[in-house]
Structure 1
Amino acid sequence: MSLPRPGTDAGRTALDALLNAPASALAAFDFDGTLAPIVDDPRTSAPYPGIVEGLADLAGLIGSVAVVTGRPAGTAVRLGELDRVPGITVLGHYGAERWVGGRVVAAPAPPGVELVREELPGLLDGLNAPEGTWIEDKGRSLAVHTRRTADPDGALTLLTPALSELARRAELQVEPGRMVVELRPQGVDKGAALTALVAESGPRTVLYAGDDLGDLPAFAAVAALRDQGVAGLTVCSSSDEVAAVAEAADLVVPGPAGLADLLRGLTDAVRGASGV
C-alpha cells in the first residue's frame, strides 16, 4: 500500500519524523466521519471495514494511538470495537471523559446540561422544527440533528439562533457540525484534549485526523505544538459537506475509506523503515 505525501512542508517533515522514530509518535483520530462513515442515525455508526484492524496494527508499531471524539467515551468504544486496539486511549466528550483499559473516568456534567435536557424538546416544538429533526442526548451534552429533514441546512438556519440563546442561558457553548448543532460544556474541545494528551505522553511527533468543524481546534493545537518543537501532521477525512477542514489539513484523504488506506500505508511504511 503506497503512502500519500502531505501537501505542506510541515506535514512532510512530520510524516518523515514519524517513520524515522515511530516509538515517539502519537496518532490520534476523530471517530464519526473519520474512522466511521456518517450515518443518519449515530446509534448505528460502525467503523469502516479494516479500520479497527489498521488501528491495532499501527498501535503495535508506534508510541501511542488515541481517539478523540464528542461521543461518550464508552459509546465510541462499544460502537467502534476500539477495545480490540491494544493500549488505545479514548477521550470522549471532547476530553471530559477518558476510556483506557476498560474503564471510563469522567468529571460530573455541569448543571446547564440538565437545563438544556429539560427545555430542548419544548423549544423545538415551539419553533415548529421540521419533520426529521431529532435530539441526541450524549449525557454530558445534547445535539440537534437535521440530516433527516427535507432541507437540513435550512433547518439549521431556522433552529440555530434559538439554540444559541438556550446555550447562553445554560452557560454552555454551541458547536456546529455536519447537519448538527451541539450544546456542550464550555472550555472543552478537541484541541485542549489533544494538547493535554501530548503533555502527558510526551511524543515528538503527532498525527491528528478529523473531518468536521469540531476537529479544527485539534488542527490548531497541532500547529501550536509545532512551535514547541513537536512535529505535527493534520489529516482531513474529506466529504462534500465541509470544505474548511480540507483547506486546513496537511493531507486530505477520501473519507473513512481513504483513512483505512492511510492506516495500511503507514503500517507498511513503518515496518519497511524499521526492517520488520
Structure 2
Amino acid sequence: MVSSLPHPTTAAGRDGLAALLARPGKAVVALDFDGTLAEIVPDPERARAHPGAVPALAALAPHVASVAVVTGRPAGVAVRYGGFAGVPGLEHLVVLGHYGAERWDAVTGTVRAAAPHPGVATVRAELPGFLDRIGAWPGTWIEEKGRALAVHTRRADDPEGAFEALKGPLGDLAAAHGLVLEPGRLVLELRPPGMDKGLALAAYLHETGAASVLYAGDDLGDIPAYTAVEKLRSEGLPGVLVCSAAESAAVPDLAERADLTVAGPAALVDFLAALARAIEEKAEEQSD
C-alpha cells in the first residue's frame, strides 16, 4: 500500500480496503456528490465537483468494476455539475440520482427514471403558501429537485433554530401527502418513501456482483448507505466507509461509523487519486 494512501482506523475498514486492492476489478467505488465530490455552497445550483474529482475518477475507474455517484440530486443535474459526460476513462460511470429513482449511464448518456410520486406535485403547489402561513419565509428558501423538494435554512438569521422549528410542520405536511421528511445539514427534504441511498447502493452492488465496496459520504442522507454496507459486511462482503468532512464539521452519526475520515472534497479527491496509484503499483508488482 502506498504511503500516501490513508489507512482506515477500524479492522473492518482495513479488511475492506485490502479486499479492494486485492481484486479491484470486482470492486465498486460509490460516492455521494454534495459535500463529498463537491463543496457545500450556500446556493446548491452553484455547486460543482472539485476540479480534481474528474481526473481522479478517470484514473481510478478503469481499474475497478464500477464507479457510481449516489445522490439526492436529479441524475442529469449531477452529471452536469460533476462534468462527468464524455470523459475518457469514465465510460462506465453510473449516476444513481434521486436516491436511485433515476439512473444515468455514461455508456449510453441517457437517464432512466421511475414514474413520479403524485404527492410531490401537490406539495410543490402548497409549500410556498405553507411556509408563508407559519411565518417561515425570512431566510428560508425552496430548492426544486424534480422528484423531491427541499427547504433550506442556511440563510436564516438563526439557521439551526429555523431548522428545528420547521421539522415538525414539514414532517406533517410530507406525511399528509404520502411523502417522508429527510433532514440534512440545514436542509429538510420532502421526498417519496422507499427512496434512499442504501436501497439504491445495495441494488446496484447486487446487479454488478461486486466482491467489495467503498462508499464515501458526508451527511445524514448517507446513513442508509452506511447501514447497507455494514449489513453486507456482516454477510461477508468487505467494505470501506469514508466520511468526507473536516473533523470539526463532521456529522457525528456518520463520523462515528466511518472507517476513515478525510477533510472534505479536496482530501477525498487526493484519497481517490492515491487509491488509483496503489492499484496500479500492486498490478506492477504482480506482473514483475
The two structures share one fold, judged by TM-score above 0.5: yes
Residue aligned with 1:4, SS: coil
Q: Which residue of 2 aligns with 1:30?
A: 32
Q: Is the 8 A contact 2:149 2:190 kept in 1?
A: yes
Distance 1:115 1:196, change over 3 A: same
Partner residue in 1 for 2:112:
105
Q: Write the letter of the residue equivalent to 2:102.
A: E
Give, in angstroms, the shift of residue 108 of structure 1: 1.2
Q: What is the percentage of aligned positions where both structures have the same residue? A: 55
- Deviations 1:140-186 (Å, cap 9, x if unpaired)? 00000011112111111121111001001011011000110000000
1:39 aligns with 2:41: yes
2:284 aligned with 1:275: yes
Q: How does 1:31-180 map to 2 (within 5 A)?
A: 31-83=33-85, 84=87, 85-100=90-105, 101-180=108-187
The whole-number CA distance in structure 1 between the counterparts of 2:203 and 2:97 is 13
For the residue of structure 1 that corresponds to 2:103, the secondary structure is strand
> What's 2:245 paired with?
238
Structure 1: stretches of 5+ with no match in the other structure: none
Q: Secondary structure at the match of 2:39?
A: coil
Letter in 1 for 2:104: W
CA contact (8 A) 1:237 1:252 kept: yes
Secondary structure of residue in 2 paired with 1:2: coil
Matches within 5 A, 1:194-213: 194-213=201-220
CA contact (8 A) 1:29 1:208 kept: yes
How many residues align? The count is 276
Q: Corresponding residue for 2:18? A: 16
**2 CA distance for matches of 1:241 and 1:264?**
22
CA distance in 1, matches of 2:58, 2:131: 42
- Residue equivalent to 2:229: 222
Contact 1:25 1:204 (C-alpha < 8 Å) held by counterparts: yes
Shift of 1:208: 0.4
CA contact (8 A) 1:34 1:209 kept: yes
Q: Does 1:252 align with 2:257?
A: no
**Which amino acid letter does the alignment assign opposite residue 192 of structure 2?**
P
- Segments of 4+ in structure 1 off by > 2 A? none
In 1, the alpha carbon distance for the partners of 2:283 and 2:268 equals 22
Shift of 1:132: 2.1
Worse-matched range after superposition: 123-132 or 67-76:
123-132
Tell me how far apart the structure 2 counterparts of residues 160 and 17 of structure 1 sit (CA, whole Å).
41
- TM-score under structure 1 normalisation? 0.98
Q: 1:50 to 1:82 in 2, by over 3 A?
A: same
When normalised by structure 2's length, the TM-score is: 0.94
Please tell me the residue identity of whatever aligns with 2:257: A
- Consecutive unaligned residues of structure 2, counting only runs of 5 or more, are none
Look up the equivalent residue of 1:247 and give its one-letter code: E
Counterpart of 1:270 in structure 2: which amino acid?
Answer: I
CA 54–141 in structure 1, closer or farther in 2 if over 3 Å, else same: same
Alpha-carbon offset, residue 131 of structure 1: 2.1
Q: Decide whether the 8 Å contact of 1:56 with 1:86 is kept in 2.
A: no
Offset at residue 49 of structure 1 (A): 2.1
Distance in 1 between residues matched to 2:251 and 2:126, nearest whole Å? 30
Q: How far apart, CA to CA, are the structure 2 residues paired with 1:153 and 1:127?
A: 17
Q: What is the identity, as a one-letter code, of the residue corresponding to 2:16?
A: A
Kept in 2: contact 1:34–1:211 (CA 8 A): yes
C-alpha separation in 2, matches of 1:215 and 1:86 = 25
Partner residue in 1 for 2:275 = 266
Shift of 1:258: 1.1
SS in 1 for 2:42: coil
- Distance between the aligned counterparts of 1:58 and 1:264, measured in 2? 7
- 3-state SS of paired residue (2:150): strand
In the alignment, the residues of structure 2 paired with residue 76 and residue 151 of structure 1 have an alpha-carbon distance, to the nearest angstrom, of: 29
